[in-house]
Chain A
């Protein structure tokens, strides 16, 4: 069984600095592989171990996503090898474009039975790359996956539905987005870290991937800080909780909130 796990090398928006004009400065943020992606890698790794399958890491992005530090971070998590598409034209690339590039890479790798991704990226958080990726490949897609087992052709996938879980059987190749609690990512041991340096890394040229042209033109018209409702920010002294509680309830009743 050949399993690809697509991960992202990206920064947490909490570390970005937003200007008054809404511009986002990432220069002081440090990129990494997010905890949700590590959950996906662990889920894929457990399936690879159970089936004797091959586990291939895949990522695409601007310069830096294929740097040695990034590759080692991925390869130390039990991947057999990594495939990287690193191109500055992918700076700020949207969901559909990234999915198209990833699909091209999956086709290039060939004979892939399953692609596993995290729930969402730490920076964009759209939860859409896995589903668009499936669309680019013409494959089945399932999100909020909590477990996966079986062989290609009879894959059993467990996923969260409102109020419970559902088990699906999928006959063909699929893209699965792992739920954030699908697995507990194990910490890399010394052996994993040392082995990472020796695993093969393949860099793919974007021009060789036959990425389809964009279907629309997007123009940025403006940016701003979040438009949050102005709040009263009235603080009640809670040294005497009972008194503060009475004050609060009076204020809420007075304003019609209660």
Chain B
């Protein structure tokens, strides 16, 4: 028995994985878009059956359309999928409340069986896995991903909506350069083993030699603010599956390693031989990263 799926979309067009999961459920796939026309068009060309769009948002942020999105879906509840960006979580939250539907996060396999939706998902910060069967509407937060081009585009249906009373007054861009870690075939991750922000230069030199992007554990991006928040890898940060991941000065706690579980090859460098990271790595070097990293940079040049 196939299951109809809805995808709630804000101003991020990276809904590729959501479309793939929705399609796999076998029923009709409808994207409800509360962002700019370009995002509605990306969804329309991404292999969905219907696109409902609330028109140009003007000064209204995506979040202003949460109630409208919920009402659009309430007419025909089913499985509702949303991405992990904060505005997408607001849209999905409104839908879950409207349907009194359970919310599941950390899902990595979704299927439909006998009218139920079966979800295998990570729980409690990644310490365990659960498989559940849901009978009734369910809201799933899933990883995004680029939208591959589809054969034909479906028309974008523009509908009227009364947004909540919210407006964007100002947007200020930061000094940090944005990065798409998900697209990088090689990533160098740095953790608390790095003693000073200035030492990032050594890491960046290594990353250039390895043709890799630089990423980090959560404390370096959020607490220390040494790197932009889009560079931290972890259960609540970026989820990546590069061909090669270097974990440098990273102890290997589950909250971080859960973000690179899909990496083909993992190399760990840490001065503590008992660090958990070595069990989760293919290759490990126990020693001082301040000597080992320049040595590998040299070996690559």
Total residues of chain A contacting the partner, CB 8 A: 91
Distance between B11 CB and nearest chain A CB, rounded to angstroms:
9
Contact of B278 among A127, A132, A233 (CB under 8 A): A233
B contact patch SS = mixed
Contact of A126 among B94, B133, B141, B167 (CB under 8 A): B141
A163 & B174 in contact (Cβ 8 Å cutoff): yes
Distance between B170 CB and nearest chain A CB, rounded to angstroms:
4
Q: Which residues of A contact B95 (CB under 8 A)?
A: 135
Decide if A187 is an interface residue (CB 8 Å cutoff): no
Decide if A228 is an interface residue (CB 8 Å cutoff): yes
Distance between B47 CB and nearest chain A CB, rounded to angstroms:
25
Decide if A222 is an interface residue (CB 8 Å cutoff): yes
Given contacts A16-B124, A167-B170, A181-B223, contact A238 B137 (CB under 8 A): no
* Complex interface: stretch among B153-161, B194-202, B280-288: B280-288
Interface of chain A residues 203 through 257 with chain B (CB within 8 A): 212-229, 231-239, 241-242, 244-246, 248-249, 251-252, 255, 257
Q: Which residues of B contact A120 (CB under 8 A)?
A: 236
A131 & B282 in contact (Cβ 8 Å cutoff): no
Contact of B100 among A144, A161, A167, A215 (CB under 8 A): A215
B173 & A233 in contact (Cβ 8 Å cutoff): no
A contact patch SS = mixed
Decide if A171 is an interface residue (CB 8 Å cutoff): yes
A-B complex: 7 closest residue pairs judged by Cβ atoms: A131-B93, A216-B136, A135-B97, A238-B287, A215-B100, A171-B165, A143-B86
Instruction: List the interface of chain B (C-beta within 8 A of A).
Output: 61, 63-64, 66-67, 70, 77, 85-87, 89-90, 92-103, 105, 118, 122-139, 141, 164-174, 176, 178, 210, 222-223, 225, 229-230, 235-236, 243-244, 253-254, 257-258, 261-262, 264-267, 278-288, 291-292, 294-296, 298-300
Instruction: List the interface of chain A (C-beta within 8 A of B).
Output: 13-14, 16, 18, 22-24, 94-96, 99-100, 120, 122-128, 130-136, 138-144, 156, 159-172, 177, 180-181, 212-229, 231-239, 241-242, 244-246, 248-249, 251-252, 255, 257-258
